[in-house]
C-alpha cells in the first residue's frame, strides 16, 4: 500500500468524524432551542350563558357605567345572553349581555341572574333555605310571581324573585317554566300585581277581555277570582238593599202607630 493511499484514507476518516460531531452539535443546539421555547398560557375564555332579568325596565348601556349611553331597556322575565365580561365601577358590577335582537351592552349584575331560566309560581308557596322540608321560612311567593330558576336538585329548585327581594328553594312541582305560562304570569303581575286575593276588579276584567293567553292557568285562576269577588259584591249589595227595605218598613210601621194614637 502506497503512502498516498494511507494518507487519503486518514483524511476520509477524519472528515467522517468531524461531520458526525458537527451533526451531533447541531442536533444538540436545535434541541436546546426547542426546549427554550415555552408556550404562553391560553387566555381564559369568557363563559357565555343564559340569564334572566329580574328587574323590570333594567337599563342596557353602551359603556359599563351609570352615565353610559342608554341603548335599551330589558323587561322582567326577559332572557338575555350573558357574554362573560364584567367590569366593576365604584360599588356596582356591570356585566356584558346580548339581547334577542342582537343589541349588546352593559347592565348592572343586580338586575340579572345568570345560569337561569324563567319560571312562574303556580300557587302560594313557602320559601326554604335549603332543599330540605325542615328549612321552611315565613317568606312566601304568591301565584304568578316570576322567579329565575337556577339549580335543580332532587325535586327542588333554587330561585331568585323579582328585584332579588326573595330567594331560596321551592319545590319543583310548585313552579312552571312553560314559556307561554311564564309570559302570561308576567303580564298579569305587571297589570295587577301578585294574585294574593286582593285584586282590582275593574282592572282584572279589562285584563281578561284583552289578554291573548285566555287558556293560561293563571288567567283561568284570575277569572275564577273575579267571578267569586263579583258574586260576593252582588250579595253585599242585595243584603244592603234588604236592610234598607226592612228599615223603611219599620219606619212606616212607626208612623202608622203614631197616627193611630
pLDDT score, position 245 = 58
Do the beta carbons of residue 226 and residue 202 sit within 8 Å?
no
- Burial of residue 88 (CB within 10 Å: 0-12, 13-18, 19+) is exposed
Which one, of 154, 144, 136, 199, lies nearest residue 174 by Cα? 144
**Per-domain residue ranges of the chain:** 49-114, 117-225
Q: Do residues 104 and 83 touch, judged by C-beta distance below 8 A? A: yes
In angstroms, rounded to a whole number, what is the distance separating the alpha carbons of residues 118 and 43? 32
Q: How far is it, in rounded angstroms, from Cα 138 to Cα 3?
A: 112
pLDDT confidence of residue 7: 45
pLDDT at position 196 is 75
pLDDT tens across the length of the chain (261 residues):
554 544 445 444 444 544 554 554 444 555 544 545 556 555 556 689 999 999 999 999 999 999 999 999 999 999 999 999 999 999 999 999 999 999 999 999 999 999 999 999 999 999 999 999 999 999 999 999 999 999 999 999 999 999 999 999 999 999 999 999 999 999 999 999 878 778 899 999 999 999 999 999 999 999 999 999 888 776 656 566 555 556 665 655 556 555 555
Reported pTM:
0.73
pLDDT of residue 230: 85
Half-sphere exposure of 46 (CA within 13 A, CB side): 11
The answer for residues whose C-beta is within 8 angstroms of residue 183's C-beta and 6 or more apart is 77, 213
Give the residue from 121, 129, 126 showing the smallest Cα distance to 149: 121
Kindly report the CATH number that applies to the domain delimited by 117-225.
2.30.30.40
Measured CA to CA, the distance from residue 138 to residue 159 in angstroms comes to 16
The reply to whether 49-114 and 117-225 are identical in fold is yes
The strand ranges marked E within the chain are 49-53, 58-61, 70-74, 79-89, 92-98, 104-108, 112-114, 117-121, 125-128, 136-141, 146-153, 156-161, 167-171, 175-176
Question: What pLDDT shows up at residue 15?
Answer: 47
CATH superfamily of 49-114: SH3 Domains (2.30.30.40)
Cα radius of gyration (the chain): 38
Amino acid at each position: 500500500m502506497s503512502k498516498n493511499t494511507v494518507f487519503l484514507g486518514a483524511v476520509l476518516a477524519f472528515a467522517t468524524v468531524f461531520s458526525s460531531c458537527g451533526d451531533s452539535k447541531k442536533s444538540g443546539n436545535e434541541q436546546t432551542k426547542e426546549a427554550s421555547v415555552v408556550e404562553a398560557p391560553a387566555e381564559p375564555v369568557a363563559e357565555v350563558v343564559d340569564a334572566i332579568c329580574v328587574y323590570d325596565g333594567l337599563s342596557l348601556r353602551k359603556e359599563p357605567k351609570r352615565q353610559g349611553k342608554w341603548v335599551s331597556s330589558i323587561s322582567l322575565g326577559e332572557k338575555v345572553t350573558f357574554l362573560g365580561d364584567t367590569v366593576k365601577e365604584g360599588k356596582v358590577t356591570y356585566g356584558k349581555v346580548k339581547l334577542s335582537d342582537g343589541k349588546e351592552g352593559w347592565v348592572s349584575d343586580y338586575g340579572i341572574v345568570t345560569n337561569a331560566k324563567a319560571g312562574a309560581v303556580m300557587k302560594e308557596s313557602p320559601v326554604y333555605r335549603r332543599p330540605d322540608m325542615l328549612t321552611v321560612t315565613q317568606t312566601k311567593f304568591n301565584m304568578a310571581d316570576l322567579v329565575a330558576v337556577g339549580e335543580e336538585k332532587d325535586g327542588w329548585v333554587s330561585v331568585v324573585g323579582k328585584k332579588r327581594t326573595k330567594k331560596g328553594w321551592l319545590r319543583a312541582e310548585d313552579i312552571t317554566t312553560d314559556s307561554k305560562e311564564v309570559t302570561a304570569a308576567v303580564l298579569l303581575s305587571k297589570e295587577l300585581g301578585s294574585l294574593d286575593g286582593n285584586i282590582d276588579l275593574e282592572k282584572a276584567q279589562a285584563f281578561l277581555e284583552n289578554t291573548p293567553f285566555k287558556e293560561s292557568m293563571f288567567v283561568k285562576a284570575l277569572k275564577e277570582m273575579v267571578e267569586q269577588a263579583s258574586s260576593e259584591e252582588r250579595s253585599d249589595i242585595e243584603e244592603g238593599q234588604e236592610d234598607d227595605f226592612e228599615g223603611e218598613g219599620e219606619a212606616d210601621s212607626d208612623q202608622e202607630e203614631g197616627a193611630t194614637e
